[in-house]
Structure 1
Amino acid sequence: MFEVSRSPRLHTGTNLLGLVKHVATVEARYFGEVFDRPSPEPLCRWQDHDGGDQWATEDETRDQIIGFYRRTWEHSDATINELSLDAPGHVPWWPEPGPNTRLFAVMVHVLGENIRHAGHADILREVIDGRTGVRPENEERIDEEARAAYRAKIEQAARSAALV
């Protein structure tokens, strides 16, 4: 059976389950390795990152990846709760302004990562279910003919602007 959550929906291969796996891996690294509190989950070395955290392999189930994220956020919460906001950390993959940082800066950074990937997930959801907006129960399905006309209008404006 075809599973929509792991299917690539964009030309980059982006998929919902891969986003969950990626966000879990990012959090595991930042709230684990950076503060010398390694994740209890096995992770590849950051130097060996090959994009494998952005999609689900054939033998990984949705429940396994969601479980990985749940265990990761418990570990992240423990790091945040047990350390002070000015606790020092070391991010070896940060070139500038340098790898030395504090817990508060990492929290802000990871929040930004999560916000960005939540936006990606929302776009994927729109591609999957055809809906836009915040609450599907308050929105009627968009008329495909009206949607196509609207998109054509935007495309025409883009073409016309290129001629100017």
Structure 2
Amino acid sequence: MPGMHKSDLHSYLRAARESLVWKLDGLAEYDVRRPLTPTGTNLLGLVKHLAGVELGYFGDCFDRPHGESLPWIEKAAEDNADMWATPDESREQIVALYRRAWAHADATIEELSLDAAGHVAWWPADRNPVTLHRILVHVLSETNRHAGHADIVRELIDGAVGRRSGDVLPSDEASWWEEYRGRLERAARQAQGA
């Protein structure tokens, strides 16, 4: 049964990864980089961040060197340097790094048991040690959280929604969505007493 649990978690992680990368498809370089929230959330930055997450949690925490250079996570790096791409960091480089991180993480997940012991150096001592199971759940949760951010950012850019191409939605007509959004706005105002 533990093998089945690991397989299920791993399958959901793979799907979340693919969903996040799909959000970049068909967009101009500016659109994958531009900040669309007051805190600067952008699509390529989310991918860059999650590459470091996977390399750290499935590499460093289980003493499995990954060999990647990640200057944006060094102590001397500026705050949030992992959450955006510099002009010198291409989309192709960042996506390739994320895919290498997947391969490294996948090897860790496949080779270790769910109860394999690890250590997260950047977590408080009372939350260590950890197991592969805990880290797999943690990274799956973080990846899905950021995939949700990407959903909203992509919708703001060009209206594209869903986890993948061909997702079934109630309608693909702009007029349907305008009416729906208007109904929600009216309900919100009515609930407030406006």
Common fold: TM-score over 0.5: yes
Secondary structure of the structure 1 residue equivalent to 2:118: strand
* Contact 1:19/1:55 (<8 A) preserved: yes
1:108 aligns with 2:146: no
How big is the alpha-carbon RMSD for the aligned residues of Structure 1 and Structure 2? 2.7
Shift of 1:36: 1.3
Structure 1: where are the runs of 5+ without partners?
Answer: none
Number of equivalences:
163
Q: Normalising by structure 2, what TM-score?
A: 0.71
Change (3 A) 1:7 1:117: same
Residues 29 and 153 (structure 1 numbering): CA distance in 2 closer, same or farther, change over 3 Å? same
The one-letter code sitting in structure 2 at the alignment partner of 1:119 is G
Superposition pairs of residues 41-120 of structure 1, within 5 angstroms: 41-43=68-70, 44-45=73-74, 50-95=79-124, 98-120=127-149
Secondary structure, in 3 states, of the residue corresponding to 2:127? coil
TM-score (norm 1): 0.82
| Mapped contact 2:151–2:162 kept (Cα < 8 A) | no
Alignment of 1:154 onto 2:184: yes
Does structure 1 conserve the Cα–Cα contact (< 8 Å) formed by 2:48 and 2:98? yes
- 1:78-127 Cα offsets, whole Å, 9 max, x none, are 21222222111111233375121111111111111111111111222222
Q: 1:88 and 1:47, CA in 2 relative to 1: closer, same or farther beyond 3 A?
A: farther
C-alpha distance in 1, partners of 2:39/2:167?
30
* Identity among equivalent pairs (%): 51
Residue of 33, 40, 62 corresponding to 1:6: 33
Higher relative contact order (CA 8 A, sep 6+): 2
Q: 1:25 aligns with which of 52, 65, 90?
A: 52
| Residue number among 25, 34, 40 corresponding to 2:61 in the alignment | 34
